[in-house]
Structure 1
Amino acid sequence: MSLQRPLTIAGFVHIEAGYNNVAPWKEIEWLEKSCQLPFRSIAAIDLTLPCDEFHQLINKLVTFTSVVGCRHILDEQALQLLSSEQVQQNFVTLNQYQLNFEVQMPFADEKAVNKLSHIIANNTDVTFIINHAGMPPTDDCMHSYHSSWYASLSRISAFKNVAIKCSGWEMFDRRYDKLWLADIINQCITLFDVHRVMISSNFPLTLFSCSYKNYWETIIATLSQNQQDLLHNNSKYWYKIP
């Protein structure tokens, strides 16, 4: 992972890679021993753990200086998980620690977004970061999906403790269209304003579609303004990168 001038990597955010979900601190421990650039890390977490076990795990994770939050991949289980009383209680613990939570789920699932909305409203000290632009539609023919996705993002954007991260295009279509990418980013900026939108790479999965260098060149060519905020300042702020 490297860039050539005038592009540079000032720092990064590591989102849990599932190295050891039973003992997620081992992944963090390795990172803090191995990485030189300024960085922050998001640890794996199991939102379904009993409250005592969940609290103990969070207590351990926050002893690592890089940890600013956690992620339980919700995906298609979002409605089931967010409806769970156990999960809702564990969000209260995240709120007490004022941690970030990475929200990875399809925002076209309006029932799940309804549950998420209540959790966000009840946990205002958690910073919720929407992953992969909320999993937008890739086909113009998917009108109903797009309408649900946009309406859900519009609803969630009303909460000021929510930001959105645009990445993961290769997860939806490895030959994604650059005009589509630009359109999704612009829609996110319209909904959240420029200071709550971050552009990231989803490295190493980015390499399914193009080189790391080519990816960032494409992104920069797409952004006509606010490049410093979208590519640097916002991530530094939301993830508390030194």
Structure 2
Amino acid sequence: MKHKIIDPHIHLFDLVKGQYQWLQTNNPPFWPDKHIIQKNFTEQDLQLNDNFNLGGIVHIEAGFDNKSPIEEINFLRSTISNIPFKAVSFLDMTLSNETFKLQLSKLQLQSNNQLIGIRHIMEGTDNDLLFHENILTNLTLLAELNLIFEAQFEIHNLNASKQLAKYTKSLPSLNILINHCGFPTANKYQQWQQAIDILSPFHNIHIKCSGWEMHNRQYKQLWLKQIINHLLSQFGENRIILASNFPLCLFSKSYADLWQSYYDLNLPNNIWQAISFDNAKDIYQLEAKPSITV
């Protein structure tokens, strides 16, 4: 029996066609193992073991060309041929509403229905961007267009989490995906739990379980289990989504091994079905086949 999964957080690279400033050796982040991902990646690199079939993917912007984000979608359309996919693009969420609306309209028109959401990373000192005066108006437009806001920041910053909760409360039709579990770390675990308490009551907030390698290349299966179990207890199985963060997951383990580690959590079948396939299919509006084949 093979389980059909959807991976809603992957990145593909073409280092000749794209810019990827963050991937350059002389630019931050200065990871000593950055060379592992300084290469081209295509859909053919998404290799699973015999337990799984990949039924769909969501490509998250990777800095292909932030001044013209449609170029990344054009690249994806030219290179992805075998797997249903949607795209989350970069757009500056602090732009004036008029400029944001113009750029988003152009992007949506040219994307041939592949565009499903917007991500503007607000990690570290950039979490101040969450408080920008233009954010609420631009989030309102995303909600009106049924586009997702991918929120990527350290949620243990409780002021930032409370600000996101304010937006969420005022925009109940806006779908928000918190990336990488909100970056839990062992030394900020209590604050992370407090943030989960703040954010979990809002039913339009979903959370993606991925990015484990970002703060600890040697993370253990027990840590993965601890975080996912806590999220299940607070968010419920209908608002949690498993993902890979490929190719950055390669800092810790292979793509196949990561998905096998999820399966090895031995979750009940209904929960596995929800968080490995159904939830991603619904929120990202992916057309895919039934989740389990024999």
1:163 counterpart = 2:209: no
Q: How does 1:203-222 map to 2 (within 5 A)?
A: 203-222=246-265
Secondary structure of 1:49's aligned partner: coil
After the TM superposition, which segments of 4 or more aligned residues of structure 1 sit over 4 Å from their partners?
Answer: none
- Tell whether the 8 Å contact from 2:94 to 2:133 is kept in structure 1 after alignment: no
Q: How does 1:1-242 map to 2 (within 5 A)?
A: 1-36=46-81, 37-63=83-109, 64=111, 65-77=113-125, 79-137=127-185, 139=186, 142=187, 145-225=188-268, 226-242=271-287
1:64-102 per-position Cα deviation (integer Å, ceiling 9, x unaligned): 211111100011245421211122222222122121011
Q: Which runs of 5+ in 2 are unaligned?
A: 1-45, 288-294
**Distance in 2 between residues matched to 1:95 and 1:13, nearest whole Å:** 19
User: How high is the TM-score relative to the length of structure 2?
Assistant: 0.78
Secondary structure of 2:116's aligned partner: strand
Distance 1:153 1:78, change over 3 A: farther
Answer 1 or 2: which has greater helix percent. Answer: 1
**Distance in 2 between residues matched to 1:213 and 1:16, nearest whole Å:** 22
Secondary structure of 1:115's aligned partner: helix
**Distance in 2 between residues matched to 1:193 and 1:12, nearest whole Å:** 23
**Distance in 2 between residues matched to 1:121 and 1:189, nearest whole Å:** 22
Pick which of 120-129 and 64-73 moved more: 120-129
Q: Which runs of 5+ in 1 are unaligned?
A: none
**Distance in 2 between residues matched to 1:5 and 1:189, nearest whole Å:** 27
- Tell whether the 8 Å contact from 2:154 to 2:182 is kept in structure 1 after alignment: yes
Shift of 1:178: 0.7
**Distance in 1 between residues matched to 2:61 and 2:174, nearest whole Å:** 18
Shift of 1:148: 1.6
- Tell whether the 8 Å contact from 1:99 to 1:125 is kept in structure 2 after alignment: no
**Distance in 2 between residues matched to 1:133 and 1:89, nearest whole Å:** 26
Secondary structure of 2:197's aligned partner: helix
Shift of 1:235: 0.8
Shift of 1:131: 0.5
Query: What CA RMSD, in Å, does the superposition of the two structures yield over aligned residues?
Result: 1.3
Shift of 1:34: 2.2
Length, aligned pairs only:
237
Shift of 1:122: 1.6
Higher RCO structure, 1 or 2 (CA under 8 Å, sep 6+): 2
Shift of 1:48: 1.5
**Distance in 1 between residues matched to 2:214 and 2:182, nearest whole Å:** 12
